[in-house]
Amino acid sequence: RASRSPLTLPTLPEWFAPGAAEAAGPSPPGAEGSYWPEEPALDEARFAAYGESWARRRERIRSQSPNGQLKGWDIRSYIVKAGDDIRQEELAMQLIKTFHAVWVQARLPVYLRPYEVVSISNSTGLIETVPDSVSLDSLKKPLPASTTLLQYFYHVYGPPDSTAFKFAQRNFTESLVGYSIVTYLLQVKDRHTGNILLTRKGHLVHIDFGFILASSPGGMNFESAPFKLPLEYVEVMGGPDSDVFQYFKVLMFAAFMQCRKHMDRIVTLVRMMLPGEKLPCFAGDGLAAVRDLEARFNLTLPESDLVVWIRDMIESSMDNWRTRQ
């Protein structure tokens, strides 16, 4: 293991360099700060997959609203929850916002899509929907059963040498880094294709954080892989020997290093929830859940060994049979 060559940032095409998207110019509404190339020839395929874009819907509703010209006018879409305790979901989203802030502060091109979760009581609340997205489960239903995720990317974004495909591939990769680290550190379970979304621009977004930290479906944890990395995801990145997959590995290391630097900030947020009403994520011994979280940051491992550890974690997750669903 020690003799393996260290991870180095590969020479990537100019469009893939961190910051290239922002340098391309101002973003359209709802673009989350990332440039998106318009390719009208694929509009029909994208509309069939995602429907009317949120930006167009917003402007259409605004033009019809008597208050549309008021400063601060906006629309949001929420799910109203009744009979469900979403306080753990709210905690998970606060943690995701913290991870997001850490990577933004470090100027790393790692993508997370925090959404609003408002717990009104122990049985009611509001959860913001993620516009311009569809679950991985739903997006393939209108297509032949043998359709792979890579083929879906070709269908919606164009051939692999097209600008739209390249940007969608980059968005996919940078979001996969973010949610892989979140999944591992928070021990997010029940990661099936129904609660993983793909956005119009190619980002992955995870939803439904009912099982995190010490909680598991049925009280039993069968998900031994650190995070979900099926071969379909690797194919979208160009395969395990591609420059894009190498970029994924390098970004995983850089993003995890930043999390280690801010471990106290993340762990304190979890520890603050212990004295209150016990959430499912603290099943059994709540303090043990916090200690296990701290241990996953691997603070005692030297940086040189951490490179190998990250690589091994990626290899053990790739196409792990426990996370294929």
Please give the single-letter amino acid code of residue 69. Answer: Q
Q: Give the pLDDT confidence score for residue 41 in this predicted structure.
A: 60
| 234 pLDDT higher than 50 | yes
Q: What is the pLDDT of residues 193-232, one digit of tens each?
A: 899 999 999 999 999 998 899 888 765 555 678 999 999 9
Q: Give the pLDDT confidence score for residue 139 in this predicted structure.
A: 87
Higher pLDDT, 43 or 125: 125
* Local structure of residue 318 (DSSP, 8 states): B
* Local structure of residue 132 (DSSP, 8 states): S
The pLDDT confidence band at residue 32, using thresholds 50, 70 and 90, is very low
Q: Give the pLDDT confidence score for residue 11 in this predicted structure.
A: 42
| 15 pLDDT higher than 80 | no
Q: Is residue 94 part of a domain?
A: no
Q: Give the pLDDT confidence score for residue 232 in this predicted structure.
A: 94
Q: Is residue 291 part of a domain?
A: yes
Q: Is residue 6 part of a domain?
A: no
Judge contact between 123 and 82, C-beta under 8 A: yes
Q: Is residue 315 part of a domain?
A: yes
The CATH number of residue 262's host domain is 1.10.1070.11
Q: Is residue 65 part of a domain?
A: no
pTM of the shown model: 0.85
Exposure string of 276-305, with b = 16+ CB inside 10 Å and e = fewer, is eeebbbbbeebeebbeebeeebbeeeeeee
Q: What is the pLDDT of residues 242-252, one digit of tens each?
A: 999 999 999 99
The pLDDT confidence band at residue 144, using thresholds 50, 70 and 90, is confident
Q: Give the pLDDT confidence score for residue 16 in this predicted structure.
A: 45
Q: Is residue 14 part of a domain?
A: no
Exposure string of 35-50, with b = 16+ CB inside 10 Å and e = fewer, is bbbeeeebeebbeebb
Q: Is residue 257 part of a domain?
A: yes
- Of 132-136, 213-217, 267-271, the one with minimum mean pLDDT is 213-217
Q: Is residue 245 part of a domain?
A: yes
The pLDDT confidence band at residue 42, using thresholds 50, 70 and 90, is low
The pLDDT confidence band at residue 14, using thresholds 50, 70 and 90, is very low
Domain with 250 in it: 130-323
Cα gap 302→295, rounded to integer Å: 14
| 26 pLDDT higher than 60 | no
| 112 pLDDT higher than 90 | yes
Segment 295-315 mean pLDDT: 92
Q: Give the pLDDT confidence score for residue 214 in this predicted structure.
A: 83
The pLDDT confidence band at residue 36, using thresholds 50, 70 and 90, is low
Domains of the chain: total: 1
